[in-house]
Structure 1
Amino acid sequence: MGRIEGKVCLITGGGAGLGRADAIRLAEEGGKVVITDVNVAGGEETAQMAGNDAIFIKHDVTDEDAWQKVLAQTASHFGKLNVLVNNAGIVVVKTVESTTTEEWRRVHAIMTDGVFFGLKYGIGLMKENEDRNSIINVSSTAAFLGYPPFFAYAAAKGAVRSMTKSAAIHCQQSGYRIRVNSIHPGGIATAMVRQAQAEGGTTPKPADGGNAAPPGPGLGDPEDVANTVLFLASDESKFINGAEMLIDNGTIIQP
């Protein structure tokens, strides 16, 4: 207990799935958590589940002005920001030929623009404090692989991967006490993955009803991602910067 005691953590897309698991895990270890989402009911439920004075703020990550307001509210309520988890995302199960321009722009508005705004304004707030700070960008194994049905999603997650490295070195060269890393989950048992499977996207299938233990195949649990987020949020990972951490049980290196 207490691995991030007193650290103020903001998690986008915290109304369900990975964001919810992250919020609960960070609060369990002493984090003061701000959950944001366009899903008000889900976000408020996550705040209740997380406890430890967690709060919810309605937030559309595609809105640049909203980012500045959310960060100002965070600073006003908790006094600072130490950890930012850029988690909000959507998936469109379509190939390069079937993806519409509107779908392409919507996916990138949330996962490319949203992460850009988070980095830009999150760094601006974090650099004001003397704590060790951490930004964790949620990418995907799709940033490494050729997934035809996830064309726009994979492109956005590739952008997240690249932005992470540039931001990490920017902070380092600027003398900021901010690390920036990306995590790359594979198939995780969330509603979004189940939706992708239902729409014909190829993702790992659960083995033995989803109860197979590693090293066996199957979907991971949201807690597997949340534990990695906790590690990167904590000072235990103070020498990890600009890294990309796979959370996929070896999926992308299978022969």
Structure 2
Amino acid sequence: MGLLEGRVALVTGGAQGIGLAIAQRFAAEGASVVIADIDLDAATAAAEAIDGPAAGVRADVVDPDDVAAMVAATTDRFGRLDVLVNNAGITRDASLKNMTLEQFRQVIDVHLQGTWLGMKEALAVMKAQVADGRADGGAIVNMSSISGKIGNFGQSNYAAAKAGIVGMTKSVAREGAKHAIRVNAIQPGFIDTAMTRAMPADAQEAATSSIPMQRAGQPDEVAKVALFLASDLASYCTGITIEVTGGRHM
């Protein structure tokens, strides 16, 4: 049996990159997976490509109605929700001098508000499942970033949001613990995704040379940590943040 056999997982921003890798890894471990993404066609295509029960839904994680609807779509389709991964995110990089208030708010809203809304909806469903005996707990995994620990030039919005996710994770972990609902976070470092591959070659080289393991991480290496946190292997872990950085910024 897989580590998530019989469980239902919802992954936001799951149509590509790290989110897609997490959805694929969860499915390989027996979970039924719902991929939520602002691009419905991409979410549907990603779900159709997964080997196992999966569905794609459209959701703008900033919209409370969309977030409620994606959770409802998950329970309507598969009857329950056991794991939520808050992965959806954007960047709007600029120096403080050049960053607009709109760019600041967009990033804060997607990362912080989106994660908060996802946890709010999922925690209510998971608590109800535990209360009526349909589940013995639940797991929420929030995607932070090493930028939230060390800050990056031109990312005052992104670093603030990702640091905020760590604090929010700890707060909600305290609320969920008595219901056996675990809430943890991951801080990826330099990961080989479409976004990092679009960086200039010299910037990629500089980033890689600063990593003790001397290479970029792969999306599935983040996904395997998400699997750990979502599974019973992490049954006594809550409120923690795990860095997946190859030793960078240790």
Q: Is the 8 A contact 2:196 2:204 kept in 1?
A: no
Q: What is residue 88 of structure 2 aligned with on the other side?
A: 88
List 4+ stretches of structure 1 deviating above 6 A: 199-203
Q: What is residue 174 of structure 2 aligned with on the other side?
A: 169
Give CA-to-partner distance per residue, 1:192-226, whole Å, 9 cap, x none.
Answer: 2334x34997886457xxxxxx9631210001000
Alignment of 1:31-70 (within 5 A): 31-70=31-70
Q: What is residue 240 of structure 2 aligned with on the other side?
A: 243
Alignment of 1:95-244 (within 5 A): 95-129=95-129, 130-172=135-177, 175-195=178-198, 197-198=199-200, 205-206=207-208, 216-244=213-241
Q: What is residue 132 of structure 2 aligned with on the other side?
A: none
Q: Distance in 1 between matches of 2:159 and 2:185?
A: 14
Cα RMSD (Å) of the superposition?
A: 1.9
Relative distance call for 1:115 and 1:125 in structure 2 (3 A) is same
Q: Distance in 2 between matches of 1:190 and 1:202?
A: 12
Q: Distance in 2 between matches of 1:166 and 1:200?
A: 40
Distance apart, 1:238 and its partner CA: 0.3
Q: Distance in 1 between matches of 2:205 and 2:106?
A: 22
Q: Distance in 2 between matches of 1:62 and 1:23?
A: 21
SS at match of 2:142: strand
Unaligned runs of 5+ in 1: 208-213
Relative distance call for 1:136 and 1:148 in structure 2 (3 A) is same
Q: Is the 8 A contact 2:126 2:137 kept in 1?
A: no
Distance apart, 1:191 and its partner CA: 1.4
How many matched pairs?
A: 244
Unaligned runs of 5+ in 2: 130-134
Q: Distance in 1 between matches of 2:203 and 2:240?
A: 28
Relative distance call for 1:21 and 1:28 in structure 2 (3 A) is same
Q: Distance in 2 between matches of 1:161 and 1:201?
A: 27
Letter aligned with residue 167 of structure 1: V
Q: Distance in 1 between matches of 2:104 and 2:53?
A: 37
Give CA-to-partner distance per residue, 1:71-113, whole Å, 9 cap, x none.
Answer: 1111111111000000000112212222111111111111011
Q: What is residue 211 of structure 1 aligned with on the other side?
A: none
Q: Distance in 1 between matches of 2:99 and 2:201?
A: 14
Q: What is residue 74 of structure 2 aligned with on the other side?
A: 74
Q: Distance in 1 between matches of 2:12 and 2:61?
A: 8
Give CA-to-partner distance per residue, 1:47-93, whole Å, 9 cap, x none.
Answer: 12222110000111010011111111111111110000000001122
Q: Distance in 2 between matches of 1:38 and 1:225?
A: 22
Relative distance call for 1:203 and 1:77 in structure 2 (3 A) is farther
